[in-house]
Chain A
Amino acid sequence: MKTWIVLIAVVLAGAGVAFFHEVLWPNVPEPEMVFPSKPAGPPPKLEMVEAKSYQFGTIPVGGKRTHAWSFRNIGEGPLDIWLEDTTCSCTVASLKAAKGQEKTITIAPGQSSPLEVSWEGRHAGRFHQAATIGTNDPDNPSVVLTLIGTVLDPLEIRPSDSVSFPDGTPDQSRSASVRILSNDRPDVKLLRVSTSKPGLIVAEAKPMSPEELANEKGKSGYDLSIEVRPGMPPGRFLEEVSIETDHPTRPALKIHLSGNTVGPITLTPARVVMPSVPRATGASVSLSVVVRGEQPVRFEIASKPEILKVEITPETGPDASGRFRMTVTVPPGLPVGAIDRPILLKTNHPRLPEIRVPVSIYVSNRS
């Protein structure tokens, strides 16, 4: 009995300690919920003379640039600075520490310390990199230092290395052009230009005139015309132009070509995808059906999954000629499971008597 009394007393004492522990050291919900306290002694004061944003201007790909900011302590207590955060790829060497650790620099009153922020331009384009420096100056708890500029590609494709062709029919020719511009060499040569569909996609390069080069502010360059010739099969295409050059740092370039060869009737979206339809409510989706050309077209739903409701109705309005709306409805109360049998449309169009619409529907128990 005595043992039990002692045991209970000890447990209660322990619980009491725990209670007072909670009062004395309140629970901290997240490690992030910390902030610099007011220093016990005289406060530090940060002074920065120059602007916190620095313009690097233009740098080449692979070029590394560093800028040093001066942090001066004009207060009376020691000034601590540490790295709080950086964007992906700039480095602050003097505050770099082992992974998972933090490093602090302390600047005595009246003293200054340079802080170098470095960045290497690995990818062409404009950049804006930032390093957030934390301090124990109560008036400046954090300082954001930013580096701004442009990484210039020595051999650039303008406006872009992705060329999107307008939709066209299989018997149409389509063309586009881009410029290949050297920003650093006056005599770049294109050694070989080839395409992924040599018979149907043709690319030809022609040197730019001095006036065009002056306008584009390039040292040398070419106009590259790309033609998609008649005969492209129906459907989306994603092709490629490959260029070999004598540029010492850009021996190869690629241009991505994309487009769509359409038939006389198009459906958008081209399929019915409903990955999670709540069985309690059901759901519906509509597809836009566009008929190209003047011929009037009639549609008939030849086959469909029995449990789906499918309707095609003409659009109304001033610019609705040749436009239809197909509505697919999943009624409520269907059993959980997949519906994946396609919908088959019959038309009276001489070149497209049948359209198959893939269906991917899953009826779930989700509310």
Chain B
Amino acid sequence: MDGTIGLFGTEGGGYNSAFDRIARKEEGVELMARTDLRPWAAVALSAAALVYVGCTSSSPTESKPSVPSSGKAGGPPARGKQPVPAGEETGFLASLGKPAAVLVVTGEMNGYTEPCGCTEGQIGGLLRRFDFFEWLGKKGWPSVRVDLGGLTKSPASARGGFEQAKLKFDYSIKALKLLKYDAIALAAEDMKVGVGEALALYLNSLGERTKLVAANIEPPSGFESIFQKSRIVEAGPVKVGITAIVDPDALEKLSDPDKDLLVAGLKRPGDVLPRVLAELEPKSDYQVLMVQGPPRMARTLAESYPGFDVVVSTSEYVDVLTHDPEMINGGRTLFLQVGQKGKYLGAIGLYPGESERIRPAIVTLNTQFDGPAAPMRQLIRDDYREALRQMGVVADYVRHDYVGGVPGATFVGAETCKSCHPNTFMKWSTTKHARAFESLLHDKKPNVIYDAECITCHTTGFEYTSGYRSPETTAYLQGNQCENCHGPGSKHIAEPDRAEYRTAMALTPEKADRGQLCQHCHDGDNSPKFEFGGYYPQIAHKGLDKYDDPKVHRGLNPSAK
């Protein structure tokens, strides 16, 4: 009997209606238990279960998109809930009704090709974006796909360093090509990988369909095939005119020897938009302007050129302020911000000839879009990380000398510290810090130990000349060890009683807290719930060792790791 019930339970597990079914089956079992037909009933119920499972269950590997609904996680308790009959739609699909086409707007991915950070429960990511487009495809709705640019963040501040930031930018372009985007606005932030570099990557990776759009730049010599001032894209019966403006001041501020490629033909928005709009209006049903500049610039342009039906602005905040998009110019123009870090997208239903010509929806890319997304998974997980491995971004990371500690000190590793601080070492070895590198080896994503964005917080002294480089050369610096907080220890271990060396490595919890030392890794993306008072007790190690053994005062040879 247990086995029979188990079959039902596992098949539908996890929601109330399933529990209701189990309860009904259990009542049935109780009745049957008092009859002579119990063995037959077991067979019948088993067979019924098999028929039932065979008819209704789907393979977990079946290639189908997930089911989008309201875009919200969680839900109410049992009261007030009921299952949706198969085929009924909720959320953005229902809100769009039957559009002639859909304009999909994304932007400001800022390098977040996967959901931000390494904690669970984050939203966004290209895999989910792929799944969203799968849904659009299943609906049979023609679509126009535009991106505001801002694919990456400046390599100068990227956690993974220059080379990784550039490579990620390249794979972001490849991803938009895979997603069949029609236009990407040129962004000054994207040019920070190097103007020549960025244009070369666009040239190599964009493909035929996707174009880089900027109305106020003359296409640089040699890049005419990927550059357009505006374009008209047909989606089913709808023609959409697309153009973009890049903030001239942001381009002028670039410190790049090749910026003249763009700046030489740079014009103010007001000098080009009237003509571009006049060209688009008679040839297209809708006109879309993307503004790669401050939101106030986008608003001014939207108000100055009310002929645009949709004006896409950069976002002031990471998350969208409202799921009710803003209509301006007396309801003529949709003023749209889709947030940052690729967490949301705008899906705008287009209804030419109807009184309500556009109907927008903001879609949250959450777990409801966790479909297989195999081609995107191949690109941004397998190929991208394989490229990281091949390029050796971790081993070749541009490192520098440690500042602020004992001049000339180098990293020695926790095993060396253990010689004189055995109890402190024991305490550390029970913490997650000690297993930080091991956790990467078990990550479901491939080649994570070759990803500098990950390795920087899972090894010791990564960004410094004598810090972690590779499993082959610096295995003794794997994990988040003593010296990440206390600084490199070679001088101290050689002369343990020298006061200035000990002072340089001394660190109190108060000082760590005030200096926001932990936030280097426990930041808003990767450890949003971090709070020093709650986390520090897990690693507290004050006064665990005594130093009355003469050997701890003799010193060690720093080169003997």
Contacts and interface: CB of A to CB of B under 8 A. Distances in A.
A325 B404 contact: no
Contacts of A292: 257
A273 interface: yes
A1 interface: no
Nearest to B196: A268
A68 interface: no
Given A84-B73, A122-B531, A196-B402, A323 B222 contact: yes
B498 interface: no
Contacts of B395: none
8 contacts: A10-B43, A85-B366, A89-B528, A146-B322, A164-B255, A238-B162, A244-B404, A250-B516
Contacts of A164: 154, 156, 192, 255
Contacts of A177: none
A195 B404 CA distance: 8
Contact of B156 (A88, A89, A256): A256
Interface stretch (A21-29, A209-217, A219-227): A21-29
Closest 10 CB pairs of A and B: A317-B221, A14-B48, A128-B317, A14-B44, A166-B255, A162-B157, A242-B403, A88-B528, A10-B44, A164-B156
A337 interface: no
A241 B390 CA distance: 32
Contact of A273 (B43, B47, B84, B167): B167
Interface string A192-212: 001111000000000000000
B44 A362 contact: no
Chain B binding surface SS class: loop
A292 B257 CA distance: 10
A184 to B, nearest CB: 14
Interface of A: 6-7, 10-11, 13-15, 17-18, 21-22, 25-37, 39, 53, 61, 80, 82-85, 87-89, 102-104, 120, 122-123, 126-130, 132, 134, 136, 141-142, 144, 146, 148, 160, 162-167, 194-197, 235-242, 244, 248-252, 254, 256, 258, 262, 266, 268-269, 271, 273, 275-276, 285-288, 290, 292, 315-320, 323, 325, 360, 362, 366
B402 A273 contact: no
Contacts of B383: 275-276
Given A11-B43, A14-B49, A249-B514, 20 more contacts: A14-B44, A14-B47, A14-B48, A14-B51, A21-B52, A25-B17, A34-B81, A35-B69, A84-B73, A88-B528, A104-B79, A122-B524, A194-B404, A239-B400, A242-B404, A268-B196, A275-B383, A275-B387, A288-B200, A360-B390
A268 B194 contact: yes
A360 B450 CA distance: 15
A35 B69 CA distance: 9
A315 B84 contact: no
Given A102-B74, A164-B192, A80 B80 contact: yes
B217 to A, nearest CB: 13
Contacts of B76: 36, 80, 82, 84, 102, 104, 134, 136
A195 B77 contact: no
A273 B391 contact: yes
B514 A250 contact: yes
Contacts of A271: 391
B279 interface: no
Contacts of B21: 21, 25
Contacts of A25: 17, 20-21, 83
Contacts, number: 278
B423 interface: no
Contact of A6 (B40, B66, B157): B40
| Most chain B beta-carbon contacts within 10 A, residue among A31, A254, A266 | A31
Contacts of A251: 511, 514-515
Nearest to B402: A196
A28 B197 CA distance: 50
A33 B83 contact: yes
B386 interface: yes
B515 A163 contact: no
Interface residues of B, number: 107
A166 B256 contact: yes
| Most chain B beta-carbon contacts within 10 A, residue among A82, A89, A258 | A258
A28 B58 CA distance: 12
B45 interface: yes
B391 A35 contact: no
Contact of B77 (A89, A102, A325): A102
Contacts of A10: 37, 40-41, 43-44, 47
Given A162-B156, A167-B256, A22 B514 contact: no
B355 interface: no
Interface in B20-50: 20-21, 37, 40-41, 43-49
A33 B514 contact: no
B261 interface: yes
Contact of A129 (B69, B157, B319, B378): B319
B398 A236 contact: yes
A269 B200 contact: yes
Given A26-B85, A35-B90, A148-B321, A320 B200 contact: no
A315 B321 contact: no
A29 to B, nearest CB: 6
B182 interface: no
Contacts of A362: 386, 390
B161 interface: yes
Contacts of B41: 10
Given A269-B197, A275-B387, A196 B81 contact: no
B321 A320 contact: no
A244 B70 CA distance: 50
B154 A162 contact: yes
B264 A319 contact: yes
Contacts of A11: 43-44, 47-48
Given A89-B528, A317-B221, A28 B80 contact: no
Interface string B137-179: 0000000000000000011110001100011001000000000
Interface string B453-466: 00000000001000
Interface in B195-224: 196-197, 199-201, 203-204, 220-222
Contacts of A287: 200
B363 to A, nearest CB: 14
Contact of B90 (A33, A80, A316): A33
Contact of A196 (B154, B316, B401): B401
B519 A27 contact: no
Contacts of A104: 76-77, 79
B122 interface: yes
A62 to B, nearest CB: 9
Contact of A275 (B17, B83, B390): B390
